[in-house]
Structures are given as structure tokens and as C-alpha cells.
């Protein structure tokens, strides 16, 4: 593998790790809210979160490009704050990935939270646990299988993204050239052997991750979350 390829591997891993971390930070409260709210805004918010599932990545990338570009509102904001422009930077890729992988993190978490019986949370409040306490001592531990699924899917999906990266990140080595783009580049240049090395590696990675997730969720599934429902 060329140094360029290795840099693509490193960059992809960084992007996916950072994106997953940010998504867990943002997505957990959002999923909790979606799971418990009776607000009329819920269907709207849930739909916005799910949009990347149905939209072509190029559409999402196109609008992000406009928003974050020099004339776009986000772009003007980042410039005003002295952060510069986001398109064609690593930071821009992170922002785009967070939005693009959002449903893969929020939805498993939301399902996990929804599966927690209301009476268990009420029991916690009759045992003197306030709202924050209930969340951290009961809801999060019980949502552990969902948390695992969300992290793995968020990470894996970010590794696999292509269209959005191409639209707003381009193909700058060491900055925005992630694995999927590198594969594309090799194929375009008819470097099939190089393309194979990266592509096969990604297939292998995806398989390992999914099998591990499947096994782990089966093990976790027999322990806490389902014990309540399964008896």
C-alpha cells in the first residue's frame, strides 16, 4: 500500500471515531427526548433525523455545500466566528458525517430507550432518584445493547460514506481523501490491484464488525434489557 493509502486509512478511522463520539454526545439526549416526549414536534424531528436514510447522499451533500459555502448561512457564521470555511476541510467532513450517520445512532438508541418500561423509571423516582439520576442509573445501563449497536453502526456507516464526502470534501490527500474516495480514485486510474487491496480490506472490516455486533447483541440481549420482557 502506498503512503497515500495509509493516510486514507488513518483519516477514515479518525473521521469515523470523531463522528461516532460526537453522535453519541448529541444523539443520546435526542434519542431520549424522542423516546419519551409527547410533543407534537416529535414526528417532525424524527423525520429530519431519518432523512439521510432515504435521500441520495449527493442531495444531502449538495445542500450542505450550499449551507456551509461562503454565501450560505452556516458558512457566513463560521467565517464570522473566524473558523473559516468548512467545505473541503476535515472539519466539514465531520459535520457532514454527523448529519449523515445520525439515524444510525439515534434510531437504535431511541428503540432501546422506548423498550424501558415506564414503571421501572417510576420505581426509580419513588426510590428518591431525580430525573438526571434516573437517566444515568437506570435508563443508560438498560439501553446498553442499543448503545453498542448505535456506536458500531455509526462508526461503520461513516467509514462507508462516499457521496457526501465527494460533494463537500473532495479528494484532498491527508485532509479529505477517505478510503471510499481513495478506492474510487484507484478505479478511475485503472489501478485495480490497489483498489482491490482497499476494497477487500473494507469488506473484511465490515464483516468483522457486523458479526461481532451480532454476537454481542445476542449475548447482551439475554441479559438485562430483554429479561423484563422475556419472562
Partner 1 sequence: MIDAHLRLPRAGFTLDVSLALPERGVSALFGPSGCGKTSVLRALAGLERAAGRVALGDEVWQDDERRLFVPTHRRPLGYVIQEAALFPHLSVRQNLDYGQRRASAGAQRVALEPIVDLLGLAGLMDRRPHTLSGGERQRVAIARALATGPRLLLMDEPLAALDAARKAEVLPFLERLHEVQAVPIVYVSHALEEVARLADHLVLMRSGQVVAAGALAEVMARLDLPTARGEGAGVVLGAVVVERDAAWQLARLRVGDGTGDFDLWARDHGLPVGRPVRVRLLARDISLARSPQSGTSIGNQLHGSVEAIADDEHASLALVRVRIGGSAVVARLTRRSAHALGLAPGLPVWAQVKTVALME
Is residue 37 a contact residue for partner 1 (CB under 8 A)?
A: no
219 within 8 A of 144, measured Cβ to Cβ = no
Which of 1, 122, 174, 207 lies at the binding interface for partner 1 (CB under 8 A)?
A: 122
- Exactly one of 38, 71, 126, 190 binds partner 1 (CB under 8 A); that residue is 126
Q: Does 120 bind partner 1 (CB under 8 A)?
A: yes
Q: Which is nearer to partner 1, 114 or 228 (CB)?
A: 228
Closer residue to partner 1 in complex, CB, 16/124: 124
- Give min distance, CB of 224 to partner 1, in A: 4
Q: Of the two residues 42 and 144, which places its CB atom closer to partner 1 in the complex?
A: 144
Residue 230 touches partner 1, criterion: CB under 8 A: yes
114 is a site residue for partner 1 (CB under 8 A):
no
| 124 touching partner 1, by CB under 8 A | yes
Give the x-and-dash track for 129-168 against partner 1 (CB under 8 A): xx--x---xx--xx-x------------------------
DSSP states of the chain: --HHHHHHHHHHHHHHHHHHHHHHHHHHHHHHHHHH---TTHHHHHHHHHHHHHS-HHHHHHHHHHHHSTTSHHHHHHHHTT----TTSHHHHHHHHHHHHHHHHHHHHHHHHHTS-HHHHHHHHHTT--HHHHIIIIIHHHTHHHHHHHHHHHHHHHHT--HHHHHHTTT-TTTT--HHHHHHHHHHTT-HHHHHHHHHHHHHHHHHHHHHHHHHHHHHHHTHHHHHHT-
Task: Answer whether 105's CB lies under 8 Å from 30's CB.
Answer: no
- Verify binding: residue 225, partner 1, rule CB under 8 A: yes
| CB of 29 vs partner 1, minimal distance in Å | 20
Q: Is 227 in the site for partner 1 (CB under 8 A)?
A: yes
Tell me how many residues contact partner 1 (CB under 8 A): 25
Is residue 204 involved in binding partner 1 (CB under 8 A)? no
- C-alpha distances in angstroms, 210 versus 17, 55, 106, 155, 199? 17, 24, 18, 11, 17
Least distance (Å) between residue 128 CB and partner 1: 4
The one segment of 8-16, 40-48, 182-190, 223-231 that binds partner 1 by CB under 8 A:
223-231
Point out which residues bind partner 1 (CB under 8 A).
Answer: 117, 119-120, 122-130, 133, 137-138, 141-142, 144, 223-225, 227-228, 230-231
Amino acid at each position: 500500500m502506498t503512503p497515500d493509502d495509509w493516510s486514507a486509512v488513518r483519516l477514515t478511522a479518525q473521521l469515523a471515531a470523531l463522528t461516532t463520539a460526537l453522535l453519541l454526545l448529541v444523539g443520546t439526549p435526542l434519542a431520549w427526548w424522542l423516546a419519551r416526549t409527547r410533543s407534537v414536534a416529535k414526528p417532525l424531528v424524527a423525520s429530519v433525523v431519518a432523512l439521510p436514510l432515504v435521500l441520495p447522499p449527493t442531495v444531502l451533500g449538495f445542500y450542505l455545500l450550499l449551507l456551509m459555502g461562503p454565501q450560505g448561512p452556516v458558512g457566513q457564521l463560521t467565517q464570522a466566528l473566524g473558523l473559516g470555511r468548512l467545505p473541503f476541510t476535515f472539519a466539514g467532513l465531520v459535520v457532514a458525517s454527523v448529519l449523515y450517520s445520525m439515524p444510525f445512532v439515534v434510531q437504535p438508541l431511541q428503540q432501546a430507550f422506548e423498550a424501558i418500561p415506564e414503571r421501572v423509571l417510576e420505581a426509580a423516582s419513588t426510590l428518591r432518584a431525580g430525573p438526571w439520576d434516573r437517566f444515568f442509573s437506570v435508563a443508560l445501563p438498560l439501553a446498553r445493547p442499543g448503545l453498542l449497536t448505535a456506536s458500531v453502526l455509526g462508526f461503520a456507516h461513516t467509514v462507508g460514506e462516499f457521496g457526501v464526502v465527494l460533494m463537500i470534501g473532495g479528494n484532498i490527500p491527508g485532509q479529505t481523501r477517505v478510503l471510499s474516495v481513495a478506492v474510487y480514485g484507484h478505479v478511475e486510474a485503472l489501478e485495480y490491484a490497489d483498489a482491490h487491496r482497499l476494497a477487500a480490506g473494507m469488506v473484511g472490516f465490515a464483516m468483522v464488525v457486523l458479526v461481532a455486533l451480532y454476537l454481542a447483541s445476542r449475548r447482551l440481549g439475554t441479559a438485562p434489557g430483554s429479561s423484563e420482557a422475556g419472562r
